[in-house]
């Protein structure tokens, strides 16, 4: 089973259904090392702990994913704040474009890398933060108030929490059919946006990226797809932990979740801006 998030797709650590075992993983139903579950949720060995195990040899845990995701998002927020307040007016456009291009290139490199590089993850977070800071400032100017940024951040956090709670409370089962549908929908959505971008360079504006009714529709679709991608990513991270994925793979999970959360924030911000704008 694969996630529609290409970041998690590149590592077999997040696709244990393919029958691979990872360093530190135990066969299904057998005790795992360091007191962790065996592959696919088998019971852990009583009394064993992580103490004394090298960080690069023990399996990934949910705590690892949470900590590294928090660090990555923290870099995004700090870079966004700095770009908002410190970018000179005459350099706004060049910095905005540079941030977007660097973030895109680094995202592609990380997405198609077999081995995750934490330094590149931090560089991506910084570049993405620069892009988001200026984009958010533009939206705040369009609406006429920076309150919309706070609302978008809170909406992103609430949506993330509700999605996670729904996934856990209702024990959502991510089936191959569900996964395939989300992948196809996400690829189609991205294809439409790419075509629209190329068309806009040629002088044709469909309104998909604007602030009208069409822009509102596509922003809502983008937010909905981001939620479905979060569900897939929760499932793949859970499987990776159960399979005993290497601890360093927590950086890949953090990067993947950051990509999805940034996507969610952008679309929610656009929705709020369209609803509040003139």
One DSSP character per residue, the chain reads ---SSHHHHT-GGG-GGGS---TT---TTSPPGGG--BTTTBPPPTT--STT--TTTSBP-HHHHHHHHHHHHHHHHHHHHHHHHHS-GGGHHHHHHHHHHHHHHHHHHHHT-SS--HHHHHHHHHHHHHHHHHHHHHHHHHHT-THHHHHHHHHHHHHHHHHHHHHHHTT----HHHHHHHHHHHHHHHHHHHHHHHHHHTT---STTSSSHHHHHHHHHHHHHHHHHHHHHHHHHHHHHHTT-BGGGHHHHHHHHHHHHHHHHHHHHHHHHHHH--
Selection from 131-135, 198-202, 209-213 with the highest mean pLDDT: 131-135
- Confidence label for 3 from pLDDT (cuts 50, 70 and 90): very low
Say yes or no to pLDDT of 69 above 70: yes
Q: Which of 20-24, 154-158, 197-201 holds the top average pLDDT? A: 154-158
Write down the pLDDT at residue 117.
94
pTM for the model: 0.80
pLDDT value at 173 more than 60: yes
| 88 CA to centre of own chain | 29
Q: Which residue has the higher pLDDT, 78 or 51?
A: 78
What pLDDT shows up at residue 46?
Answer: 32
Mean pLDDT of the 139-161 span? 95
Q: What is the pLDDT of residues 221-233, one digit of tens each?
A: 999 999 999 999 9
């Amino acid at each position: 089973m694969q996630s529609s998030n290409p970041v998690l797709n590149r590592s077999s650590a997040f696709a244990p259904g393919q029958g691979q075992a990872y360093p530190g993983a135990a066969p299904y139903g057998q005790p795992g090392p360091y007191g962790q579950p065996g592959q696919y949720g088998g019971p852990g060995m009583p009394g064993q702990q992580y103490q004394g195990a090298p960080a690069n040899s023990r399996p990934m845990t949910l705590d690892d994913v949470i900590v590294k995701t928090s660090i990555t998002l923290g870099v995004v927020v700090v870079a966004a704040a700095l770009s908002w307040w410190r970018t000179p007016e005459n350099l706004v456009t060049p910095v905005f474009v540079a941030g977007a291009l660097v973030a895109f290139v680094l995202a592609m490199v990380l997405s198609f890398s077999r081995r995750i590089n934490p330094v590149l993850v931090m560089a991506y977070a910084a570049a993405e933060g620069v892009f988001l800071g200026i984009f958010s400032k533009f939206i705040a100017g369009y609406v006429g108030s920076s309150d919309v940024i706070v609302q978008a951040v809170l909406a992103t956090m609430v949506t993330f929490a509700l999605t996670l709670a729904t996934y856990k409370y209702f024990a959502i089962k991510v089936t191959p059919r569900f996964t395939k549908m989300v992948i196809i929908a996400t690829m189609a959505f991205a294809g439409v946006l790419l075509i629209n971008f190329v068309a806009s360079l040629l002088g044709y504006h469909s309104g998909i990226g604007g602030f009208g009714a069409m822009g509102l529709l596509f922003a809502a679709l983008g937010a909905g797809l981001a939620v479905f991608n979060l569900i897939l990513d929760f499932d793949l991270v859970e499987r990776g932990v159960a399979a005993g994925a290497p601890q360093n793979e927590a950086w890949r999970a953090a990067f993947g979740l950051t990509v999805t959360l940034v996507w969610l924030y952008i679309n929610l911000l656009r929705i709020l801006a369209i609803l509040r704008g003139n």
